[in-house]
Amino acid sequence: MSDMIPPMSPAQPLPGRMQALAAFIQAHADEPLTLARLADEAGMSPFHLQRSFKAVLGVSPKDFHAAERLKTFKARLRRGDSVLSATFEAGYGSTSRVYEQVNGSLGMTPSAYRAGGAGETLAFAVRETALGFLMMAATQRGVCCVQFGNSEQTLEDQLRKEFPKADLRAASPRADPDLDAWMWALEHHLARSGPRPDLPLDLRGTAFQLKVWRFLLSVKSGEVVSYAELARGADAPRAVRAAATACAANRIAVLIPCHRVLRSDGGLGGYRWGLDRKRTLLDLERATGAAEIGA
């Protein structure tokens, strides 16, 4: 067994063993990792490992490995490595496999990502709402970001952190009529003056995060779920902490209603954009009954 991870043994509690195995995968993300090899590391049968890992981490070993490999690939691109070098260092084996496996997760071509979003255009709009400044940004695929912030500059800085060399353009009715209409609809939705807009989304996350976010889209206005129910909705009932982490990673929190998730005791829990906003959104929805006013 590798020295790079904590020892695993049958006597170790299952969650600890799976966390140790996750650390092993992270340390060997650039290597081929078969289920048989991972089962040998954990001292378990492949079938038992598959079920146990997903129950604790929220994703299969294969999906976890893919996510960690993608992190390595992205880090090397951001560091300035060539696409070819990053491809092989991350363990993809060929550039064709990279384009097959990571384009959807990057939201752009690897070469564009390496350049910090160079060649990628993100249009964005910022409005001052009752809940503070709100920014919506979109690619050609759809809305990739809806965030609250303290100022227009803060929100633009956050967007530029992810895509430092992308072409960020303030939306205008003439140049970006779709985004302008989407932002208008969202403003009215939050102000209880219109229905919840059904907008195209450019979702970017791990397989488990996407499951969590898609389940959140099914939670109706005025309803709430617990973090445990959220984990069950994502087909990983024991991955409560991972479900909460997926909520925290959601960058489209107005349209993907992570504020509708509470602790099992009814407490607010956390919220990426502050508990005051979470409380306000819930109060607005309860006041309007079944009418959806926000996410």
* Residues with a known catalytic role: 258
Neighbours of 12 (CB within 10 A): 16
Q: Rounded distance, CA 12 to CA 7, Å?
A: 9
| Closest residue by Cα to residue 110 from 86, 93, 91 | 86
Which one, of 12, 61, 17, lies nearest residue 35 by Cα? 61
Tokens at 107, concatenated: 């939201």
Which ranges of 43-147 would DSSP assign to H, the alpha helix? 46-57, 61-79, 83-89, 95-101, 103-106, 110-114
Q: How far is CA 29 from CA 15, 56, 123, 284, 291, in A?
A: 20, 19, 34, 45, 46
Residue 124 pairs with which residues in a beta bridge? 137, 170
